Structure 1
Amino acid sequence: MAVQYGTEDEGDDSMLHAPSDTEYPLLDRVKSTYTSLPTYQLPKGEDRHYQQQYADMYFARLAQIKPAVEQIASEAWADFGIAGEKALRKDRVLDVRQGELCWVIGTVYMEMPLKPNVLEDIGKEHWIAAPPPRVKYDSGMANGDSEHGAHAGGGKGLSGAQIMLEDESGRLRLTGSYLEGGLLVTGAIVAVVGTENADGDFEVLEIRVPDLPRQPPRWETEDGDAAVNGKSASQKRSKAGKVAIVSGLGMSGDEGDTLSLDMLMEYLLGESAEPGSQEDASAISRLIIAGNSLSHGSPIPSREEMAAVAKKVGRKTYGYDSSSYNKAPTDRLDQWLASLLPSMPITLLPGEQDPTSTSLPQQPIHAAMFPHSRAYMNAPAANEGAGWFDSTTNPAECSVDGWRLLATGGQPVDDVYKYLPDCEERLEMMEAMLRWRLTAPTAPDTLWCYPFQDGDQFVLKECPHVYIVGNQPKFETVVIEGPVGQQVRLVAVPKFKDTGELVLLDCETLVPEVVKFEVFEEG
């Protein structure tokens, strides 16, 4: 069968014609000013050791935050009194006396029946049947239903949950209806006012928290560096860009797991959609990946996974088993990043499922995992700041276009969620963590972390402008305000593998928007 493409008599509708003289505009990607902050970098080599006791970390945390709590509580309760009795300040929890109205500062400790403990680890070691997954620490129901659990406060409820306040002198059990409406977890530093009852419990009338710390003005980090170098401090641009934020890519290496990731890559590169969407994509100045880029890349497999491998190969294995290693997910991630990096800079945070340390703060994924992408990284001994490809810590702090950003892979919020039987709002938990000035309040109680001794690195020293938490159930955002005018944009980023959602944050207004990628399957 012959195909005739066109003749001179067919006019303008011919498919065969001379090249067009139309000139299409070239789009340049908006540039961003980026500074990676080493807030959560751990010591290297011999300087990193694990001989410290975790109790030292709690004492250091209390010493760091106590002055801020004391100042707020002193101002709030300066004239507080009942029936002519004025509330007195107590230096230690053991100085509290029965029937005396007073206030005291300490660290919250929550005793909950389903919290992880050493007996559970022993049970797993001997292959005793494991309990159902624990969505909440205070409920015996695996699905997280707190119908039979106690409130977050109230001393001791049906589930046996108890709230205590402790310092270097001892512990004091808290009770009272005021606790039922608040958010409290182990590790938070608070001040409580009330009186000790006949049972020896402290009846709480009110609680004060440290609240948001000082918030640096925009461009303070860049202005400081410019001033040191004797240059102009002006860093503002005429055109503001956008930061793309995604989490939970969950790359498994399976062939059927690539379509949505390819759509995301083509959108970021401006290779899809109409010219208007391509112009929008050119405004994206940086991509931030907030944890769980891989589906199963954790360096420490669970005992259940090890048992499955042992059953498959017919022998019991201990530790690393080379036969179970699958390099396809890391290769896929490396190639995906290498396709994006010539066009845009990337900041990569590790997550719970990624191949790095499991304890917080997780250190950067090693450059050896990225044979194609590591050319865009700075050399290990370089001191000129972050490279075009910044493999950073989790949590991580950075400055983007003058704004201070704090980002995590989601583990601290997920762990706080387990302490709160009646709370499902992730934004409330994120706000509470900022007001506690702690990025990981439940570490080291129920969240693995490095045993800091000189000071707790999870204590917020400066308030961010944007707080990003990855791998959350859904996209949510809100702006909260502090006591002296601080404003923080909270952004909960969902898992891309489950929702196909990418968050774009405007670097001028800090207003986020969502771009959704969907793959339709024929019925």
Structure 2
Amino acid sequence: MLFRTQPDKSKSEDTFQPLELERHNVDYKDRSQRFYQVSRDFSKQYAHIYSARLNTFRNILDSVIFKKWSNKYKILKLCELREKDTTCIIVGTLFKLQELKPSILKQLSDQLEIIPQPSRTHFVHDSDTIVLEDELQRIKLVGDCIDVHKVVTGVVCAILGSEDEDGIFTIKDICWAGCNIQKPLPTLDSDKYIVLASGLNMASDASEHLFSLHLFVEWLAGMSGTAQYQEELSKIVRVIIAGGLFVSHSNEMTVTESNVISSVDSVDSFCAAVSSVAPLDIMPGCNDPAGVMLPQKPLHYCLFPKAMGYKSFNRVSNPYECEVAGFLCLGSSGEPLKDIMRYSKLDDPLEVMTKTLQWRHMAPTCPDTVPCTPCTDTDPFTIYNCPTLYFSGNCEEFATDLYEGDGGQRVRLVCVPDFCLTKTVALVNLANLECYSMSFS
């Protein structure tokens, strides 16, 4: 609820009385059931999630293959390759063989030999190669149609080519699953805004960003600006915090467990303050007090005794999918995006987000290099429905772009900046998909 003052014309010009502004309300649905309902049976092997992913994408790629290559070529499994130099289509999962990729066995060997190993943040090497594998076999890939440094392990695709006498598959063309068909976007009668923030880092000893947080809350509550600006602020229909509420990615090494425990009350008060003026969704991050494996379950309710008193306060999963005013929103706290950049030469976050839409998978490196629950029947990270808003939290800086697919899809991509570093949040206008940043420095 917002308040502003407006002159009462029936009295003197110096007399003001308050006029109440109501926060705009829109329909909201949580679409994250597949993240909440993931099995937590750790007795299972991780091979099941790759099998489920491959089976899902075989069904998806059938129609995409027909659209691109018609029915000119046979679709074979690797075990069915018999005739050399015969052009065919193979559907499988890409796997990168990387010399610098961390390995626990290699680490143990190096420790026993007492060889100091330099710490790395990126694991790309010119000698990296790529193979395609299905349920039974794998085959080495060569060809100019695919850049080994522009893909990552776990992506399912269709390959057109042939096997030579050396058992190497030469690629002639490649087919990604592509972005799914997008349902028609609703038409709004006025502007409706979603605020995206991440990396609040409230467990840190540093206090420089706390003033900016107070400004952020006052701004949401309509305590700043002119009467016209306050009326515009009343059109903020939802606030999503994409991880890093307690500890951000940039400050994870400086925050201790005692810092997290002592910050619970201030975090709860902050969430209660925001929830009192706008609907709030809280996503966990990899450094927040939640299980590290994706998909992360919501933060425990006992952390928010004050905020839990508001119906507008929602503890949600990471990744998170919801529908706001008929617009589908999907995003994560940033772990999948950062991991893809570590194992490839993709260094533009927006390019990575575009790639994941084209791959139709938001976290292909799960469970290879990102901790993940051993799912058995389904792969929850598949992008089943094309979102309208696609975001990734805890980025180094704000960035945005509008992705337009071949089928007329329009997706607003947003890199949500680390608030502790940038003092910045992102605003998305659902009425026209425009996006801009708001700084509180």
TM-score over 0.5 (shorter chain): yes
Give, as a single letter, the amino acid of the residue that structure 2 aligns with 1:362: Q
Whether the 8 Å contact between 2:40 and 2:374 is mirrored in structure 1 is no
1:119 to 100, 105, 113: 105
1:403 to 285, 309, 327: 327
Residue identity (%): 30
Residue-by-residue CA offset, 1:207-244 (whole Å, 9 max, x unaligned): 1011112323346xxxxxxxxxxxxxxxx764332111
Alpha-carbon distance change, 117 to 283 in structure 1, aligned in 2, over 3 angstroms: same
Consecutive unaligned residues in structure 2, runs of 5 or more = 1-11
CA distance in 1, matches of 2:429, 2:116: 46
2:194 to 243, 247, 254: 243
1:56 to 26, 48, 51: 48
The aligned residue for residue 154 of structure 2 is 187
Shift of 1:287: 0.7
Q: Give the structure 1 partner of residue 27 of structure 2.
A: 33
Matched, 1:393 2:317: yes
Pairwise mapping of residues 14-25 of structure 1 onto structure 2 (< 5 A)? 20-25=14-19
Q: Give 2:397's aligned residue.
A: 474
Which residue in 2 is equivalent to 1:225? none
How far apart are residue 481 of structure 1 and its match?
Answer: 2.7
1:206 and 2:158 aligned: no
Describe the superposition over 1:156-206 as per-residue Cα deviations: whole angstroms up to 9, x where unpaired: x3xxx1101000120011112222288321111101112223432211121
Instruction: Show the 5 A alignment for 1:124-523.
Output: 131-138=117-124, 149-150=125-126, 157=127, 161-180=128-147, 183-218=150-185, 238-254=189-205, 255-295=207-247, 324=258, 326-376=260-310, 387-421=311-345, 423-518=346-441
Instruction: Check the 8 A contact 2:196/2:426 in 1, yes or no.
Output: yes
Deviation of the 1:131 alpha carbon = 3.9
Deviation, 1:474, is: 2.1
Give the Cα–Cα distance (whole angstroms) in 1 for the partners of residues 116 and 435 of structure 2. Answer: 42
- Residues 123 and 353 of structure 1, relative CA distance in 2, 3 Å threshold: farther
C-alpha separation in 2, matches of 1:130 and 1:30: 59
State the SS of the aligned residue for 1:405: strand
Taking structure 2 as the reference length, what is the TM-score of the superposition? 0.88
Cα gap change, 1:126 to 1:508, in 2 (>3 Å): farther
Q: Write the deviation string for residues 225-265 of structure 1: whole angstroms up to 9, x where unpaired.
A: xxxxxxxxxxx764332111111111135344411111111
Deviation at residue 392 of structure 1 after TM alignment: 0.3
CA displacement 1:485-523 (0-9 Å, x = unmatched): 2221111111111111111111211211111121xxxxx
Paired residue for 1:76?
68
SS state at 1:178 partner: coil
RMSD: 2.9
Change (3 A) 1:127 1:395: farther
Distance 1:78 1:123, change over 3 A: same
| Cα distance in structure 2, aligned partners of 1:121 and 1:27 | 61
Distance 1:280 1:419 in 2: 43
Cα distance between partner residues in 1 of 2:107 and 2:224: 50
Shift of residue 41, structure 1, vs aligned partner: 3.4
Alpha-carbon shift at residue 25 of structure 1 (Å): 3.6
Residues 134-153 of structure 1: per-residue CA shift (max 9 Å, x gap): 32222xxxxxxxxxx32xxx
Cα 1:196–1:278 change in 2 (3 A) is same
Question: Could you tell me how far 1:24 is from its partner in structure 2?
Answer: 4.9
Aligned to 1:83: none
Change (3 A) 1:70 1:279: same
Higher strand share: 2
The answer to whether the Cα contact below 8 Å between 1:40 and 1:396 also exists between their aligned partners in 2 is no
Instruction: Tell me how many residue pairs correspond in the alignment.
Output: 427
Given the superposition, is the C-alpha separation of residues 326 and 428 from structure 1 closer, same or farther in structure 2, using an over 3 Å criterion? closer
Distance 1:62 1:217, change over 3 A: same
Give the letter for the 1:75 counterpart. K
| Cα pair 1:135 1:418 within 8 Å, conserved | yes
| Rg comparison, structure with higher value | 1
Offset at residue 43 of structure 1 (A): 4.1
Letter aligned with residue 332 of structure 2: T
| Alignment partner, residue 229 of structure 1 | none
The answer on whether the counterparts of 1:42 and 1:48 sit within 8 Å (CA) in structure 2 is no
Deviations 1:264-289 (A, max 9, x none): 11111112334343233222121110
Q: Deviations over 1:439-464 (max 9, x none)?
A: 21110111111111111111122111
- My pick for the range that moved more, 358-367 or 285-294, is 285-294
